[in-house]
Amino acid sequence: MKKFLFYLFNFWPPFLGAGITVTQISDDLLSMRVRLKKRFWTSTLLKAQFGGSIFAMTDPIYAAILTTHLGKEYVVWDHSASIEFLKPGRSELFSDFKLEKQEIDKLKIQLVSERKMIWQKTIQVFDIKNELIAVVTKKIHIRHKNQK
């Protein structure tokens, strides 16, 4: 599954075209590192990384991790997101995505009684100097397939 996710993300046209790569996936599939390469087609006229590309690098990762660990009996999809740009990203950018097994277990327990929920996570985007460039807040809708 790790190899499948690695190839899926790295050859997925929206990532491939935007210069986005998944550089690391943990063996337990609970964490990933994503990189946005600095290319002329991912830059603005002011030589900063395009905000849409910054957002795109953060878009599907947590939903993929949750889908993998919650299983086929749950529907996982993006509900909403916001991004706060703190400074221009003028180099390659990186984001780390990590969930703990306990978080997944807690979600499963919560979904037994609630059957559907909005889960929220904050993602930080850093440059090669480890300076914070942007903060993305993702809200993900999770529900049992039998729940409408």
Residues 6+ apart with CB under 8 A from 64: 5, 9
Residue pLDDT, tens place only, 14-58? 898 889 999 999 999 999 999 999 988 888 888 999 999 999 999
Residue 112: which pLDDT band, with cuts at 50, 70 and 90? confident
Strands annotated E in the chain:
20-25, 31-36, 74-85, 93-98, 116-127, 132-144
pTM of the model: 0.90
Residue pLDDT, tens place only, 57-109? 999 999 999 999 998 889 999 999 999 999 999 999 999 999 999 999 999 99
H and E: helices and strands count for the chain: 5, 6
